[in-house]
């Protein structure tokens, strides 16, 4: 079950037509960038299977990104994109690296794109994809040059907003999907779900959790095992204990690290109350708690104290499978759903 030909799935292909044309792919299915996971091997496998792989630049330096793009190009001649975090201090140098490689699509994540960044990407002919938490912001970004939108609900793995995918889809798709390219992300584990978002007008979808433990993923075997064992209810959002302390919500598998994080917040809040830490020190203690934690889980396999970022669809990830098989499953489930009745 590894066909990558869109013609095998005619109803799905018809609804994915705009998204696939925008991405230059067979199927309008993106594998969302996952730091440490979305490197040359997974990204090229997704693109070779007819989807759209996205390199997670994360905290990489421009030189590292340069090498990663070159290595990915050596493994696929299909389109793939690069995800850049907007607050990266070298954002414009990273954009220049993408320009040198003629990257076709850049995804700007992690906040509102800084002044000039969308223009800098469009200047070398690439398309810009952005995330928008509210409809008003989405409209503003599209007016100011973004080419496509990803709406991502709180079911997703990694950094999340407060609103579920189903509600975001109802808010954004009727308002924007006719005139704009909108991809839906968060909580998608099966093709039936893809069918329903396509029927609501989405141009395509983005998945992370479902692809994170594919055969081609370099994630540590212990990270993959944690995914295969995990159920939806194990993928929990980080809890903020004290409103004074900054906690960016992240969805990850519950483990010793998530418990210790709660305890750490209580301890830091107490030190703050007692005047033993000032606010800046207290906030730094919290911000530093998870530093390097995703790498520890993905690369070193420390699934107890690392951050095992995973979405609620993790319960649908039960074994290691080649990307092409996962893609074919999603497409045939979607096609079957669209063919009913």
Give the footprint of ligand FMN on this chain (CB under 6 A): 32-35, 37, 56, 58, 83, 109, 152, 155-158, 185-188, 206-210, 212, 309-311, 313
Q: How far is CA 147 from the centre of its chain?
A: 18
As a whole number of angstroms, the distance between CA 23 and CA 68 comes to 20
Q: With 0-12 CB in 10 A as exposed, 13-18 as middle and 19+ as buried, what is 115? A: exposed
**Is residue 338 within a helix (H) or strand (E), and if so which, with residue range?**
helix 323-339
Q: Which is nearer to ligand FMN, 118 or 277 (CB)?
A: 118
Of all residues in this chain, which one has the CB nearest to ligand FMN in the complex?
Answer: 208
Give min distance, CB of 47 to ligand FMN, in A: 15
Give min distance, CB of 314 to ligand FMN, in A: 8
Q: Which is nearer to ligand FMN, 294 or 328 (CB)?
A: 294
Q: Which is nearer to ligand FMN, 6 or 252 (CB)?
A: 252
Kindly state the tokens that stand for 250. 């992240």
Asked if 4 and 50 count as a contact pair (C-beta separation under 8 A), the reply is yes
Asked if 1 and 333 count as a contact pair (C-beta separation under 8 A), the reply is no
Give min distance, CB of 313 to ligand FMN, in A: 5
Asked if 237 and 258 count as a contact pair (C-beta separation under 8 A), the reply is no
Q: Which is nearer to ligand FMN, 173 or 269 (CB)?
A: 173
Q: Which is nearer to ligand FMN, 208 or 257 (CB)?
A: 208
> Comparing C-alpha atoms, which of 39, 15, 22, 37 is closest to residue 191?
15
As a whole number of angstroms, the distance between CA 43 and CA 49 comes to 10
Give min distance, CB of 209 to ligand FMN, in A: 3
Q: Which is nearer to ligand FMN, 33 or 98 (CB)?
A: 33
Strand partners, 253: 235
Q: Which is nearer to ligand FMN, 33 or 327 (CB)?
A: 33
Give min distance, CB of 131 to ligand FMN, in A: 7
Give min distance, CB of 11 to ligand FMN, in A: 23
Q: Which is nearer to ligand FMN, 12 or 35 (CB)?
A: 35
**Is residue 251 within a helix (H) or strand (E), and if so which, with residue range?**
strand 250-253
Give min distance, CB of 234 to ligand FMN, in A: 13
Radius of gyration of the chain from its Cα atoms, rounded to whole angstroms? 20
Task: Return the DSSP state at 73.
Answer: H
Cα dist from 24 to 18, 34, 81, 203, whole Å: 10, 21, 11, 13
Give min distance, CB of 223 to ligand FMN, in A: 9
């Amino acid at each position: 079950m590894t066909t990558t030909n869109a013609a095998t799935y005619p109803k799905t292909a018809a609804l994915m037509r705009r998204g696939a044309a925008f991405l230059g792919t067979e199927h309008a299915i993106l594998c969302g960038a996952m730091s440490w996971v979305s490197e040359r091997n997974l990204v090229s496998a997704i693109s070779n299977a007819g989807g759209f792989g996205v390199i997670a630049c994360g905290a990489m330096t421009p030189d590292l990104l340069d090498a990663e793009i070159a290595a990915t190009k050596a493994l696929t001649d299909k389109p793939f994109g690069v995800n850049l975090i907007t607050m990266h201090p070298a954002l414009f140098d990273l954009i220049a690296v993408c320009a040198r490689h003629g990257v076709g699509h850049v995804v700007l994540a992690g906040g509102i794109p800084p002044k000039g960044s969308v223009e800098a990407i469009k200047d070398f002919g690439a398309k810009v994809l952005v995330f928008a938490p509210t409809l008003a912001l989405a409209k503003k970004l599209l007016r100011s040059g973004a080419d496509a939108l990803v709406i991502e609900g709180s079911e997703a793995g990694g950094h999340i907003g407060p609103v579920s995918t189903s509600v975001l889809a109802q808010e954004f798709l009727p308002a924007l999907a006719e005139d704009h390219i909108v991809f839906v992300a968060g909580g998608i584990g099966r093709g039936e779900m893809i069918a329903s978002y396509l029927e609501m007008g989405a141009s395509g979808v983005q998945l992370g959790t479902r692809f994170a433990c594919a055969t081609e993923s370099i994630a540590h075997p212990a990270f993959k095992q944690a995914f295969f064992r995990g159920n939806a209810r194990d993928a929990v959002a980080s809890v903020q204990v004290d409103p004074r302390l900054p906690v960016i919500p992240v969805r990850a598998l519950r483990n010793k690290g998530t418990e210790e994080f709660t305890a750490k917040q209580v301890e830091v809040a107490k030190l703050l109350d007692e005047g033993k830490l000032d606010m800046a020190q207290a906030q730094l203690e919290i911000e530093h708690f998870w530093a390097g934690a995703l790498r520890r889980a993905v690369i070193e396999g420390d699934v107890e104290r690392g951050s095992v970022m995973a979405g609620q669809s993790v319960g649908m990830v039960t074994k290691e499978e080649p990307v092409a098989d996962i893609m074919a499953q999603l497409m045939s489930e979607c096609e079957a759903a669209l063919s009913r009745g």
